[in-house]
């Protein structure tokens, strides 16, 4: 019951955040210097176009009414019409979503499969004084190479030398899964480098925090083997911060995907937004940014539920607080 | 042969010396109380028995033998075997010593092996309520959690149980219950007990022998009644007063004037000398060797002169 | 304060070299970044140690200028972030109540945007340019720093010396400035260091997409973006600024790690 209360409270607070995000996005575009109609239609718009725009967005009404109107249409799944393609933005985003989703999922999978073991291993073998300089430098390098540098480099290497993987020839998953995967490997790899490093670092920190807990000392005292202690006592106790990180990583990957899709010329949501900004296609920018923030917020709620299941103490203490 | 034998053990933590040549013997079936102020090295000695010291700790010399095996010179697998076969540990923080993400029953089963009857082991520590096995550690009281920890430590009937102030975090009423459980189980299984404690009167009542620690050394060691009744070391005398039995039930150690030392290297003389009323010149410059006074082993230059 | 470890000192040295690099560019060392010095798209060699670009300009002074632009932009942005986060984080953490709730809500909203997405939104609104880059970095780095400063301030305001200062009649600005601020300064320093590396990455990313610093002014992101066009024929155009950018971010992160390890030393235990 208390848990239910807590979860609904959490959901409510996320809804508030989402609302705040929508206000910010609405305000950002609507209150742009130069005026909305001017910005959207350009300086050479006819009076007719302006009138159409005004009725469509309710520009003659007070700003908060405009916001309500906008929110209503967005909630109904109507993100407006792209100024460039003249297509509904919602449909275009939906068509491009699978590419971004596939890219992000691949990267998340890699970062969990590689980052978690790496973090556990380095934590269990850590020495006082924080490990070797080489290891620290390597893990530091992982979080320090931006996608646009690494991506450009990978594109260069793989297009200059025939290394078996094509760059820039994307194939839809539905058309040829094998070739699709072959074209996604490199972008996913580039996207996951940062995520793997962050996952490894967070896992390492979490595991090191658990290692000094008395119940670990107690397990060592019972003569359990390191592998047994890691499996039964450490993984689950260290999971909360790592799972929480996955929420943040998702947000990060959405941002990273934007760059990676641009670099590798993949037809995903990210490259769509980049193009839209370049063409001042604001309906698309609004919808894309709202989508990115929305996914992040929803993801975090899901993660919170998961963490509550993982650690029986959290639900109770959180329930007491609210 | 003693079950546990600690010889001239030196343990350093980055820059500070926790043990400065400690000696201790525990025989089969014996109940030994290890007493001393915080910082005297009790916990370090207790952990060293199972090589459970935290990472920055380094052994500077000496050895620990459990059932004749040198704990510090064994390979990792050997230490694990030794811990499983011979040793059990109970720590200060009862709830902290249990895995917070696992139900009590599941944790016990992990120790006992599949198919074991968890409830039998819980009943042995007088936890008869079947709900305990289904509870998470944070849902238990400190006393209940500590009894679960005792059940886990005693599940394998170890030869030596090291209990590091197991009741320090508990209410005074619960203390006696937990101690009763510990001593009863130990007596049943023939387990030797090394009990680290502040509680001098309780130690006097329950233990066969007492070892008193000061400045990282065991400064006096002998039969409980003798050590606390007729102390031969000035520090023990100060701790115990003249009649330990007269001290209030559960009372803490009477404070000795001055502060315990923080050593950075070997103490040049007797570590207690700066606080000792009997200190002579040589006490400051010459490390005392063990001398025998009545039934006690004492580290003191003036041991013969202490009159309790 | 204890000494930083060797790796962090190395990072600090790297940063210093980059700063000298940037200052040198202002003083005209390395040559005029806009002067055409030789043939187009030449690999590194005497006269153009990092090669020449598509107009025959030497890359060395351009990279030096780029380092300067990137570092300056990021540093200013981080100073703004530090000032804003420190102010709101401390007040929210110390006072609690509605103010705390409001600040945390706003921070939560900002935190919901991936940094580069937020940057793009800012660039879309303000139009591409340095101001957009600056504002992006500030908005992207504010949430985390404000949260952590607030957490530190909450912990500090419960300590005895703060309570005793309040009881002895110290006024609020004095309590916050004299007692709370110095105790959250470590957090600000560590987070400021990390924010600087985030800032460099955000500026780079935004300029790389074409929405940040605009040519002909050079920043590391601009150079990498321009280099991408001629990547196959002249990979040094991207390698030079790319390596410098990575080194800058890495050096800053390493320094940040060193600071953090000092602020919160870690214990470990052996499982054997």
Query: Please, which chains are in contact with C (at least 3 CB pairs closer than 8 A)?
Result: A, B
What average pLDDT does chain B have? 88
User: What residues make up the domain containing C96?
Assistant: 6-241
pLDDT at C66 over 50: yes
Class of the CATH domain delimited by B4-94+157-173+185-247+259-307: alpha beta
Residue A37 at interface with chain B, using a CB cutoff of 8 Å = no
The band of A314, judged by pLDDT with boundaries at 50, 70 and 90, is low
User: Does A155 sit within 8 Å of C113, measured CB to CB?
Assistant: no
Q: Which burial class, exposed, middle or buried, applies to C84 when counting CB atoms under 10 A from its CB (0-12, 13-18, 19+)?
A: middle
Q: Which of residues 56-75 of B touch C (CB under 8 A)?
A: 56
- Evaluate the omega torsion of the peptide bond into residue B134 and state whether it is cis, within 30 degrees of 0: no
Do residues A63 and A30 lie in contact, with contact meaning Cβ atoms separated by under 8 Å?
yes
pLDDT at B80 over 70: yes
User: Does C113 sit within 8 Å of A278, measured CB to CB?
Assistant: no
Size of interface B-C (CB pairs under 8 A): 11
**Mean pLDDT, residues C26-34:** 78
The band of C166, judged by pLDDT with boundaries at 50, 70 and 90, is confident
pLDDT of residue B188: 92
Residue C266 belongs to some domain of the structure: no
Q: How many residues does chain A have?
A: 322
Total of domains in chain C: 1
pLDDT at A31 over 80: no
Residue C268 at interface with chain B, using a CB cutoff of 8 Å = yes
- Condensed to tens digits (0 to 9), the pLDDT of residues B127-183 reads 988 899 999 999 999 999 999 999 999 998 999 999 999 998 888 889 999 999 999
**Residue whose C-alpha is closest to residue A23's, from C152, C110, B57:** C110
**Window from A220-224, B213-217, B272-276, C40-44 with minimum mean pLDDT:** C40-44
pLDDT of residue B246: 42
d(CA C160, CA A313): 29
Torsions phi, psi for B214 (to 5 deg): -150, 135
What is the 3-state secondary structure of chain B?
CCCEEEEEEEEEECCEEEEEEEEEEECCCCEEEEECCCCCCHHHHHHHHCCCCCCCCEEEEEEEEECCEEHHHCCHHHHHHHHHHHEEEECCCCCCCCCCCCCHHHHHHHHHCCCCCHHHHHHHCCCCCCHHHHCCHHHCCHHHHHHHHHHHHHCCCCCEEEEECCCCCCCHHHHHHHHHHHHHHHHHHCCEEEEEECCHHHHHHHCCEEEEEECCEEEEEEEHHHHHHCCCCHHHHHHHCCCHHHCCCCCCCCCCCCCCCCECCCCCCCCCHHHCCCCCHHHHHCCCCEEEECCEEEECCCHHHCCC
pLDDT at B249 over 60: no
pLDDT of residue B27: 94
Tell me which residue has tokens 């200060």.
B92
pLDDT of residue C175: 83
pLDDT of residue B247: 46
User: Does B79 sit within 8 Å of C267, measured CB to CB?
Assistant: no
What sections of C29-180 are H helices per DSSP? 59-95, 97-111, 115-126, 130-157, 160-167, 172-174
pLDDT at A321 over 60: no
User: Does C210 sit within 8 Å of A133, measured CB to CB?
Assistant: no
**Residue whose C-alpha is closest to residue C66's, from C227, C259, C257:** C227
Tell me which residue has tokens 């420190």.
C86
Which segment, B249-253, C7-11, C174-178, is predicted with the most confidence on average? C7-11
Query: Please, which chains are in contact with B (at least 3 CB pairs closer than 8 A)?
Result: A, C
User: Does A221 sit within 8 Å of B83, measured CB to CB?
Assistant: yes
Do residues A110 and A117 lie in contact, with contact meaning Cβ atoms separated by under 8 Å?
no
Residue C254 belongs to some domain of the structure: no
* 3-class SS of residue C204: helix
**Mean pLDDT, residues C142-152:** 92
d(CA B98, CA C134): 50
**Residue whose C-alpha is closest to residue B83's, from B105, B64, B98, B96:** B64
DSSP conformation letters of A33-87? TT-HHHHHH-TT--HHHHHHHHHHHTTTS-HHHHHHHHHHHHHTT---B-TTT-S
Closest Cα in chain B, distance from residue C272 (Å): 5
pLDDT of residue A131: 57
Nearest to C224 among A127, A133, A152 (CB): A152
Residue C118 belongs to some domain of the structure: yes
User: Does C257 sit within 8 Å of A136, measured CB to CB?
Assistant: yes
User: Does B55 sit within 8 Å of C269, measured CB to CB?
Assistant: yes
Residue A212 at interface with chain B, using a CB cutoff of 8 Å = yes
pLDDT of residue A124: 86
Closest Cα in chain A, distance from residue B59 (Å): 16
DSSP state, residue A113: I
**Mean pLDDT, residues A64-79:** 85
- Tell me which chain A residue has its CA closest to the CA of residue B135: A312
pLDDT of residue B240: 78
> Alpha carbon of B157 to those of A116, B115, B196, C217: distances in Å?
37, 18, 20, 77
| Other Cβ atoms within 10 Å of A312 Cβ, number | 18
Domains contained in chain A, CATH given: 96-281 (1.10.3720.10)
* Cβ-Cβ contacts under 8 Å, B56 against chain A: 128
Mutate to test the interface with A, among B97, B152, B163 (most CBs of A within 10 A): B97
* Cβ-Cβ contacts under 8 Å, C224 against chain A: 148-149, 152
User: Does C5 sit within 8 Å of A258, measured CB to CB?
Assistant: no
Which segment, A177-186, B63-72, C262-271, is predicted with the most confidence on average? B63-72
**Mean pLDDT, residues A288-295:** 90
Residue C246 belongs to some domain of the structure: no
* Cβ-Cβ contacts under 8 Å, B54 against chain C: 267-269
User: Does B101 sit within 8 Å of A221, measured CB to CB?
Assistant: no
pLDDT at A121 over 80: yes
- Tell me which chain C residue has its CA closest to the CA of residue A251: C114
**Residue whose C-alpha is closest to residue C150's, from C171, C172, C176, C168:** C176
Closest Cα in chain B, distance from residue A236 (Å): 7
pLDDT of residue B307: 60
pLDDT at B107 over 90: yes
* 3-class SS of residue A250: helix
Q: Does C237 or B257 have the greater pLDDT score?
A: C237
User: Does B54 sit within 8 Å of C272, measured CB to CB?
Assistant: no
The CATH number of the domain where C162 resides is what? 1.10.3720.10
- Condensed to tens digits (0 to 9), the pLDDT of residues B17-55 reads 999 999 999 999 999 999 988 888 999 999 999 999 987
DSSP state, residue C203: H
pLDDT of residue A317: 45
Percent of residues, chain B, with pLDDT higher than 90: 61
Mutate to test the interface with B, among C267, C269, C271 (most CBs of B within 10 A): C269
pLDDT of residue A34: 60
pLDDT of residue A319: 35
* Cβ-Cβ contacts under 8 Å, A144 against chain C: 197, 246, 249-250, 253
**Residue whose C-alpha is closest to residue B260's, from B239, B286, B282, B240:** B239
**Mean pLDDT, residues A287-311:** 87
Do residues B92 and B167 lie in contact, with contact meaning Cβ atoms separated by under 8 Å?
no
Q: Which of residues 87-146 of A touch B (CB under 8 A)?
A: 127-128
Percent of residues, chain A, with pLDDT higher than 90: 30
DSSP state, residue A200: H
Mutate to test the interface with B, among A126, A131, A218, A318 (most CBs of B within 10 A): A218
d(CA B283, CA B276): 9
Residue C93 belongs to some domain of the structure: yes
User: Does B89 sit within 8 Å of A215, measured CB to CB?
Assistant: no
User: Does A316 sit within 8 Å of B55, measured CB to CB?
Assistant: no
Complex ipTM over 0.90: no
The band of C138, judged by pLDDT with boundaries at 50, 70 and 90, is very high
* Cβ-Cβ contacts under 8 Å, A232 against chain B: 99, 102, 110
């Amino acid at each position: 019951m208390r848990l239910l209360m807590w979860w609904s409270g959490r959901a409510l607070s996320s809804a508030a955040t989402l609302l705040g995000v929508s206000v910010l996005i609405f305000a950002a575009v609507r209150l742009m210097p130069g005026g909305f109609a001017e910005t959207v239609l350009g300086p050479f718009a006819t009076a007719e176009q302006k009138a159409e725009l005004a009725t469509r967005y309710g520009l003659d009404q007070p700003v908060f009414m405009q916001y309500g109107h906008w929110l209503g249409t967005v909630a109904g799944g109507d993100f407006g019409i792209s100024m460039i393609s003249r297509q509904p933005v919602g449909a275009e985003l939906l068509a491009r979503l699978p590419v971004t989703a596939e890219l992000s999922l691949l990267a998340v999978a890699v970062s969990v499969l590689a980052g978690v073991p790496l973090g556990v291993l380095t934590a269990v073998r850590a020495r006082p004084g924080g490990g070797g300089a080489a290891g620290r430098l390597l893990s530091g390098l992982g979080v320090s190479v931006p996608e646009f540098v690494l991506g450009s480099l990978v594109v260069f290497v793989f297009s200059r030398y025939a290394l078996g993987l094509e760059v820039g020839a994307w194939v839809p998953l539905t058309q040829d899964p094998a070739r699709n995967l072959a074209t996604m490997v490199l972008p996913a790899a580039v996207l996951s480098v940062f995520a793997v490093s962050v996952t490894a670092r967070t896992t390492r920190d979490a595991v090191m925090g658990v290692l000094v807990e008395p119940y670990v000392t107690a397990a060592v005292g019972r003569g359990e083997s390191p592998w047994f202690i890691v499996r039964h006592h450490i993984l689950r106790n260290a999971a909360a911060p790592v799972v929480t990180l996955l929420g943040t990583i998702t947000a990060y990957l959405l941002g990273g995907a934007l760059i990676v899709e641009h670099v590798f010329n993949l037809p995903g949501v990210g490259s769509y937004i980049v193009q839209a900004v370049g063409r001042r296609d604001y309906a698309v920018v609004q919808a894309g940014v709202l989508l990115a923030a929305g996914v992040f917020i929803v993801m975090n709620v899901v993660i919170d539920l998961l963490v509550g299941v993982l650690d029986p103490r959290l639900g109770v203490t959180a329930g007491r607080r609210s | 042969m003693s079950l546990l034998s600690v010889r001239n053990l030196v343990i350093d933590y980055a820059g500070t010396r926790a043990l400065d040549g400690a000696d201790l013997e525990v025989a089969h079936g014996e109940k030994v109380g290890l007493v001393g102020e915080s910082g005297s090295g009790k916990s370090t000695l207790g952990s060293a028995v199972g090589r459970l010291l935290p990472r920055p700790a380094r052994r500077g010399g000496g050895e620990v033998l459990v059932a004749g095996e040198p704990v510090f010179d064994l390979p990792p697998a050997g230490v694990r075997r030794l811990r499983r076969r011979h040793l059990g540990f109970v720590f200060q923080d009862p709830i902290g010593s249990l895995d917070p993400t696992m139900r009590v029953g599941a944790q016990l089963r992990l120790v006992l092996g599949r198919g074991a009857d968890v409830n039998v082991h819980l009943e042995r520590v007088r936890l008869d309520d079947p709900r305990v096995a289904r509870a998470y550690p944070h849902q238990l009281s400190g006393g209940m959690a500590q009894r679960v920890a005792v059940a886990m430590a005693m599940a394998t009937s170890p030869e030596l149980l090291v209990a590091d102030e197991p009741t320090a975090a508990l209410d005074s009423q619960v203390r006696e219950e937990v101690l009763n459980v510990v001593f009863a189980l130990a007596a049943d299984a023939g387990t030797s007990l090394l009990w680290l404690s502040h509680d001098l009167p309780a130690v006097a009542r329950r233990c066969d022998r007492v070892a008193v620690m000061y400045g990282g050394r065991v400064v006096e060691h002998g039969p409980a009644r003798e050590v606390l009744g007729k102390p031969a070391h000035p520090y023990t005398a100060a701790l115990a007063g003249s009649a330990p039995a007269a001290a209030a039930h559960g009372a803490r150690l009477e404070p000795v004037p001055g502060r315990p030392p923080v050593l950075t290297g070997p103490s040049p003389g007797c570590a207690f000398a700066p606080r000792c009323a009997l200190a002579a010149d040589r006490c400051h410059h010459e490390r005392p060797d063990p001398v025998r006074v009545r039934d006690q082993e004492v580290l003191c230059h003036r041991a013969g002169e202490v009159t309790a | 304060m204890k000494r930083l470890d060797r790796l962090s000192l190395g990072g600090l040295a790297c940063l210093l070299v980059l700063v000298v690099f940037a200052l040198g560019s202002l003083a005209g060392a390395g040559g005029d970044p806009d002067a055409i010095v030789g043939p187009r798209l030449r690999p590194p060699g005497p006269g153009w140690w990092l090669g020449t670009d598509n107009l025959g300009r030497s890359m060395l002074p351009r990279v030096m200028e780029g380092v300067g632009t990137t570092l300056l932009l990021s540093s200013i942005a981080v100073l703004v972030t530090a000032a804003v986060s420190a102010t709101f984080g401390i007040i929210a953490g110390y006072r609690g109540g509605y103010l705390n709730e409001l600040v945390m809500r706003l921070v939560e909203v900002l935190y919901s945007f991936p940094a580069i997405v937020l940057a793009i939104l800012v660039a879309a609104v303000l139009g591409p340019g340095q101001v957009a880059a600056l504002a992006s970095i500030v908005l992207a780095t504010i949430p985390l720093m404000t949260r952590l400063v607030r957490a530190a301030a909450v912990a500090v305001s419960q300590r005895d010396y703060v309570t005793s200062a309040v009881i002895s009649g110290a006024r609020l600005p004095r309590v916050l400035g004299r007692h709370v601020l110095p105790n959250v300064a470590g957090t600000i320093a560590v987070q400021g260091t990390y924010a600087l590396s985030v800032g460099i990455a955000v500026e780079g990313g935004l300029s790389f997409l074409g929405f940040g610093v605009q040519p002909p002014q050079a920043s590391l992101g601009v150079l990498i973006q321009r280099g991408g066009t001629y990547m196959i024929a002249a990979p040094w155009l991207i390698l030079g600024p790319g390596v410098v950018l990575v080194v800058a971010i890495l050096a800053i992160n390493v320094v940040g790690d060193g600071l953090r390890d000092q602020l919160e030393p870690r214990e470990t235990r052996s499982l054997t």
